[in-house]
Structure 1
């Protein structure tokens, strides 16, 4: 929770130091000892960036990021024999990690970095000034530091005032900042989502003019920023910024394409606005913090509509099979963004299933259809419940109430069948060994066919008992010419 504006902008230096020291809690003795160690060797060390910002906003953070004028080789010398463990996976970018008394810290040499227009990797050069190091950072709210030991507050670019205004500016010209690292344009949208900050007009203007530069950034870095944006408390603000600046056209082009034109003859929902509302309504149902799979499914559930839109007689508009088309599009986009295979599969499956409930009508489904609904959703059933409920954005209160009551009834039927039939297991009543024994056959394709038959039998008729299942199996096998 952010502190009141006056507390952020006018807090005396002593309070700022106290807030930053309080952030460190148990790690403070380690940070102080390390700062003294660097100072004794004639080097600077400062807590920097996000941890300082979050301390002043009274937000918890797991990061302890430090910066120094010492080059990486010197950092290794200074912590040798002092740190409990050291890792150098980021040393080519000037970063050394360490563990001391159970606390993990990262120390990065003052640096500046920029992208060659033809390369995805930044060129890193080291500096000797804390202020210059802060100048090259993405935003003024991340360009504050606290020198160690003692937590002397350093804010050369007005980051503290920006915290009070909830504003996002760059330390220098935004064109220079985004030229150094185009990913910072996505970070602006991410901070709008995470912190609810307003992005300064000149920053928005630069993002719009330079949107195409994001193409040079690796898919993995884009994915990570997009995930943080979608998982933030205010994703609508961040997503709208991506769309309005043209960045979305490069990183998630399906999103701006949802802005279908609506004329006086062909009226239908604004699919883009509808998708943002569905996202917000899905978030309102979360129980244990941000659910990235649910949020992505809510955002992308209708991306098949632009491709499937048809104008029918009488001014009607149809989107036949948009859920199937959308599932394929979702799979392709998330794969291109290098999301893990399980995330790709789960989000795509939810997009594919999000319309299934609308075949339920006013309760016409048989128990067999309900079982198949559960079987097809599998472990995603809880998320499918939330997505389906979130997808109701009608302003017609009567219609909304009817849809809610109908889905309540479906969930109640699922719960009843689950209690009666162990619905979650959803397996045939006979296993492979029993199939072989009953039919007198060896392992092979015929066993798999028999298993599928028994699963369909289970879905159609529920639990009928092992003896009845065996009788049905023998009858089926006889028709198929399988077994004795």
Structure 2
């Protein structure tokens, strides 16, 4: 392993970097040995097949990095001197299944027992300055292949079958010091593939690493280059970042380098300027705190008996819940600030951004509903809502009710402990009322006693708008009075219809 000197102190979101101590090289070596021992049944067999055929094979990239961090993988990446047709021949008859969907990029995939494997021929790529799609040329050495990778911690390999660690760019030292650095010039790396700038933020968020000052400077100077990246690629990196263990670290880096202005401009816009006459809460810092607090509450979203998992919809709603504030900010004569209707405006801005990033309709609607409803609870006061208002709260939240509970609770960032405790007790009361009404009335369904066919039969009408209006009348009746029974619903509907006809 490399004996390169420790990297310089890092910057770029450093204030929010988790307090993780440097790793000891001996611990890194022990961790990778344990993981390689676990993978030995696969590595020894596969390495032997390639060596016998006169080819080189190495475990590479994320699996090597994570092995050094004590993390296990079942998805494994390899690089080889063999051309794709040779790789395919060598794994056929050994693997349980083989596929060649990545053949154009030199990649053959296969499955062996619990492991998913991708084997890619050494590459030496050249890029068009106006595109991130490389012209793929096969390389002739492992070192050359590693040199084209994004960061030194991803530019390490384990040669097989002998298990020698290949680290030509000092990735082990960078990993031990928890820093992201490029194998060569960051300007060259980001010039070749601007997506790597987003990957820097994503890996910072996933690993809790800092970023080399030169990398941060290059990201800042080259932020405009991100415009050649497709919306889908940007979206995928943002999802991984937001669902990472330390999203604040990655988001802060995006804002500080100016990348956020290009890919998620609503976030830096939250850093509203202050002056000596107008003081108000720092909306940007508040938002990042709400995001972290929503993560702490994700256990509420996990099915009973299961470990909590990152929930993108919940996290992204926390990130976007106040994006309507810059558009709705008004200064009053007394020096106070208002943000009336920022929930509605924020939902519209969120929908526009998510559509631009090609999110699915289901994800977009779920996040936007949460943004639009995140203030609704504050009308609850000290519990003055009628049962009808509670029913409407549940109906409007729909399938997002549990996420709305999480967002509303996370949105309390006051340092006033008495106020925070009062808000918590009040929301406890609302949840208890929802649970009671749900038990009494099957609140989750919230359907009228009569369906569309029954409405048409009772009123003697065919399909059309009147059926929808009648259904809405019955739904409002259900909201206001709870379960009234089919006979009461029929009587009320006939009376409403007669009044309309009159």
Q: Could you say which TM-score interval applies, normalised by the shorter chain?
A: over 0.9
Say which is worse superposed, 271-280 or 354-363, in terms of deviation. Answer: 354-363
2:198 alignment partner in structure 1: 186
Say which is worse superposed, 297-306 or 57-66, in terms of deviation. Answer: 57-66
Instruction: State how far apart, in whole Å, the 2-side matches of 1:210 and 1:43 are.
Output: 39
1:290 alignment partner in structure 2: 310
2:448 alignment partner in structure 1: 428
Secondary structure in 2 aligned to 1:315?
coil
Say which is worse superposed, 369-378 or 100-109, in terms of deviation. Answer: 100-109
1:254 alignment partner in structure 2: 266
Instruction: State how far apart, in whole Å, the 2-side matches of 1:161 and 1:355 are.
Output: 48
**How has the CA–CA distance of structure 1 residues 30 and 10 changed in structure 2, closer, same or farther, with 3 Å as cutoff?**
closer
Instruction: State how far apart, in whole Å, the 2-side matches of 1:68 and 1:381 are.
Output: 50
Offset, 1:441:
3.0
2:304 alignment partner in structure 1: none
1:204 alignment partner in structure 2: 216
1:243 alignment partner in structure 2: 255
Secondary structure in 2 aligned to 1:64?
strand
Among residues 10, 18, 41, which one is paired with 2:33 in the alignment?
Answer: 18
2:487 alignment partner in structure 1: 467
Instruction: State how far apart, in whole Å, the 1-side matches of 2:23 and 2:288 are.
Output: 33
- Alpha-carbon deviations, 1:132-191, whole Å to 9, x = none? 111111111111111121322111111111221111111111112112211111111111
Instruction: State how far apart, in whole Å, the 1-side matches of 2:74 and 2:386 are.
Output: 51
What TM-score does the superposition give when structure 1 sets the normalisation length? 0.94
1:130 alignment partner in structure 2: 142
2:4 alignment partner in structure 1: none
Which is bigger in relative contact order (C-alpha 8 A, separation at least 6)? 2
Contact 2:32/2:68 (<8 A) preserved? no
**How has the CA–CA distance of structure 1 residues 435 and 90 changed in structure 2, closer, same or farther, with 3 Å as cutoff?**
same
**How has the CA–CA distance of structure 1 residues 16 and 236 changed in structure 2, closer, same or farther, with 3 Å as cutoff?**
closer
2:395 alignment partner in structure 1: 375
- Alpha-carbon deviations, 1:190-248, whole Å to 9, x = none? 11111111111111111111111111111111111111111111111110000001111
Superposition pairs of residues 310-459 of structure 1, within 5 angstroms: 310-459=330-479
Contact 1:114/1:179 (<8 A) preserved? no
* Structure 1 gap ranges (5+): none
Superposition pairs of residues 301-316 of structure 1, within 5 angstroms: 301-316=321-336
Contact 2:74/2:116 (<8 A) preserved? no
Offset, 1:454:
0.6
Offset, 1:109:
1.0
Instruction: State how far apart, in whole Å, the 2-side matches of 1:234 and 1:312 are.
Output: 37
Offset, 1:97:
0.7
Offset, 1:421:
0.8
Offset, 1:449:
2.1
Offset, 1:10:
3.0
Establish whether residue 33 from structure 1 lines up as the match of residue 45 from structure 2: yes
Offset, 1:4:
7.5
Count of aligned positions: 477
- Aligned-residue RMSD, C-alpha: 2.0
- Alpha-carbon deviations, 1:44-95, whole Å to 9, x = none? 0110010011111111323210100112222223233433322222222221
**How has the CA–CA distance of structure 1 residues 416 and 168 changed in structure 2, closer, same or farther, with 3 Å as cutoff?**
same
Contact 2:235/2:359 (<8 A) preserved? yes
Say which is worse superposed, 421-430 or 448-457, in terms of deviation. Answer: 448-457
Offset, 1:397:
1.6
Offset, 1:36:
1.2
Secondary structure in 2 aligned to 1:125?
strand
Contact 1:19/1:56 (<8 A) preserved? no
Secondary structure in 1 aligned to 2:334?
helix
Say which is worse superposed, 437-446 or 466-475, in terms of deviation. Answer: 437-446
Instruction: State how far apart, in whole Å, the 1-side matches of 2:72 and 2:158 are.
Output: 17
What TM-score does the superposition give when structure 2 sets the normalisation length? 0.91
* Structure 2 gap ranges (5+): 1-18, 300-307
Instruction: State how far apart, in whole Å, the 2-side matches of 1:12 and 1:139 are.
Output: 18
Instruction: State how far apart, in whole Å, the 1-side matches of 2:206 and 2:289 are.
Output: 18
